[in-house]
């Protein structure tokens, strides 16, 4: 690395100046979710992992009212049923 430094460093600076800074890929949530779904057969993610990733990308849209269980539907034990 030290041997090639005098040649590689100026070359990299010249190329950065001529070509400009590289812009990476930018994805919004919907595009990223579609990308995960489309590449399901190619990548090693199983169906549950794809669902988890898709659900995580939709968290911003969900409110507590969307996911909470009504008190009437909740299973509860009476207080005297708990023994220590």
pLDDT in tens, the chain (84 residues): 788 999 999 999 998 888 887 777 888 999 999 998 888 888 888 889 989 999 999 988 889 999 899 999 999 888 888 776
For residue 83, what pLDDT is reported? 73
For residue 84, what pLDDT is reported? 66
The pTM assigned to this predicted structure is: 0.51
**3-state secondary structure (DSSP) of residue 16:** helix
For residue 72, what pLDDT is reported? 92
For residue 22, what pLDDT is reported? 76
Hey, which bits of the chain come out as E strands?
Answer: none
Enter the tokens of residue 61.
Answer: 């849209």
User: By the 8 A CB rule, do 45 and 53 touch?
Assistant: yes
Q: Is 20 left (phi over 0), alpha (psi -120 to 50) or beta?
A: left
């Amino acid at each position: 690395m030290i041997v090639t430094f005098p040649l590689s460093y100026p070359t990299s600076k010249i190329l950065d100046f001529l070509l400009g800074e590289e812009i990476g890929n930018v994805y919004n949530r919907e595009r990223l979710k579609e990308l995960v779904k489309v590449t399901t057969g190619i990548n090693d993610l199983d169906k549950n992992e794809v669902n988890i990733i898709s659900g995580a990308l939709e968290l911003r849209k969900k409110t507590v009212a969307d996911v909470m269980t009504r008190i009437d539907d909740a299973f509860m034990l009476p207080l005297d049923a708990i023994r220590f």
